[in-house]
Chains A and B, each alone.
Chain A
Amino acid sequence: MVAMNPPTDQETRGRNDIRGLAEPDAEAPKVARVEGGTATFDAADLSPRLVNLELRRLIYAEGIREVRIENPGAKHSIAVGLLARCRITINGSLGYFGATLGDGPEIHITGRVGWSVAENMMSGVVVIDKNAGSLTGAAMRGGDLVVRGHVGARTGIDQKGGTIVVGGNAGSMTGFMMQRGRQIICGDVGPGMGDSMYDGEIYVGGTVAALGVDCIEAEMTPEDEELLDRKLGIYRIDRPDTFRKFVCGKQLYNYDNLEPSERKLVL
């Protein structure tokens, strides 16, 4: 029998460390050019981790407040977890999980984004000039997320705050399990809109294919009109003439209704 050496951590995990972090030893590549307070760098030959390290270096260590990224090449997980006020322009398209977990930055993406853009954003602004994939603004807590084109399915799933503005159409299950916040969709919305939503408002300028469970239409108030004018005005999106407002019907609010036997126990 030949004794086999167990594989080392390095062999089994490749370039990931014990936390699953890719390229654990990577350092910021220091490739940005800084001119008049604006830093610019090309992301074409950098891995997502190196792009994010460079961003962090510029924003946290150098204190630069304006960064421009060229050739993002639809990479995943770019500009994530930034917790500072800054302005980032991404000149191109991103893959999945772009601009997620942010608290403060204003991020402008001139191309398209994949799934889960601005997921869990706490505050700040993310503006996308073209289309977005599914799960746009999932579990978002605050800030403004603006998509000038169309979005895929399940926009604002589990949204807990903030505003999602869509210039085009939205797919199925928009606002699924939404808990707070607002969605303004100028175009048409697919089936199952507002399914199982707890709270919050969805404003729709086009048609709705079908409402989800416990989503009902509500009356527009002057405050609603003012909000739509203001939000669409800020981002210069053409405002459809009429909007309809949809909210939770609150027929599924059964959380405190104990079963009779349980009630007896409690009493």
Chain B
Amino acid sequence: MCGIAGIIHTDGPGDVGAEMTKMLQSMKHRGPDSAGYALYGEPSELVVMRFKLADPNETSDFDYNERLERNRREVESRLSKIGATVDRVEGESAYAYRATFRYEGELKPLADYVEDIRGCEVLSLGHSLEIVKDLGDAQTVADQYHLDSFRGTHAIGHVRMATESDVDIAGAHPYWAYPFSDVAVVHNGQLTNYHQWRRRLERNGHRFQSECDSEIIAVYLAERLADGTSLETAMKQSLEDLDGVFTYLVVTEDSLGMAKDAMAAKPLVLHEGENLVALASEESAIRAVLPQEIDSYDPYESEVLVWSR
């Protein structure tokens, strides 16, 4: 089933961390397996990289802790080797980290070099995007990663009921649009031409970290954006190219978009306020941040909408 939510403030930063937690927690019944956030803070000069070195499901063998520490140092040294000036690398949980560094070059070789380390997955990379995802419900993840104090302009989130792949962090949403800076996607539905697109994108040199069908939406959009296509055009093309049932949300550094398949098979409720746009699989999620009576509607089939902050 899965639940997705998005929120964008058009009048400056708000408490998007706490707001997204409320929205996702009210849709816990739609997906108790994992919860994930893509949050946009104030754009920084530094590059922010969220990455993990192990999965919470993994059995910890005798040198688990030493290995993680070794690998963390390896990430740091590889960042330096590729030309980044590391600001800091902080542990966010036992296996997830947040690194900030100064870097001007291409992101793809950097991500590939870092992910070459065993067990390492880059969850997000960009100047303001931060993806946090873990097992459990939204409150558990928010508490673990201290997201309630996160301020920013927009965010998307996802609660997952795993249907097509494993319950682990790799299978959790949002997906970073590897290797494109500051783009993330959440998706509710199933894609039936996943393998065709995965093979096509892999031939073009993109990497996939999971077996989850939703990952191709992020990478598909990244490839279009890298060609110079606008977000809205890329999303409209995706309605033709992707087969299956889907409602997905995508965020970039300054905008939030939604797309719905030709059958309108998956729900989405949309509220467009004066200074705030909120959208979610269920209206109760929007009410978690806007308790008063609001005007809302379901976007129609094949609809693509984009808002900017």
Contact = CB atoms under 8 A, between A and B. Distances in A.
A76 B284 contact: yes
B271 to A, nearest CB: 10
B291 interface: yes
Contacts of B301: 153, 171-172, 190-191
Contacts of B283: 74, 93, 95, 112, 114
A73 interface: yes
Contacts of B264: 134, 152-154, 171-172
Contacts of B269: 114, 133
B162 interface: no
Contact of A152 (B262, B282, B284, B298): B298
Contacts of B265: 153
- Chain A interface residue bracket vs B: 20 to 34
Interface residues of B, number: 20
A150 B297 contact: yes
B300 interface: yes
Contact of B297 (A74, A76, A95, A149): A149
Contact of B284 (A74, A111, A131): A74
A77 B302 CA distance: 28
A152 B247 CA distance: 14
Nearest to B297: A131
B282 A153 contact: no
B297 A75 contact: no
Contacts, number: 64
Nearest to B299: A152
Contact of B267 (A92, A115, A190): A115
A154 B287 CA distance: 25
A173 B287 contact: no
A130 interface: yes
B295 interface: yes
A153 B297 CA distance: 12
Contacts of B291: 73
Nearest to A73: B287
B293 A92 contact: yes
A67 B265 CA distance: 35
Nearest to A133: B298
B263 interface: yes
B296 interface: yes
Interface of B: 262-265, 267, 269, 282-284, 286-287, 291, 293-298, 300-301
Interface of A: 73-76, 92-93, 95-96, 111-112, 114-115, 130-131, 133-134, 149-150, 152-154, 171-173, 190-191
Give the 9 A-B CB pairs with smallest separation, nearest first: A74-B283, A153-B264, A152-B298, A172-B301, A131-B297, A133-B298, A74-B284, A171-B300, A74-B287
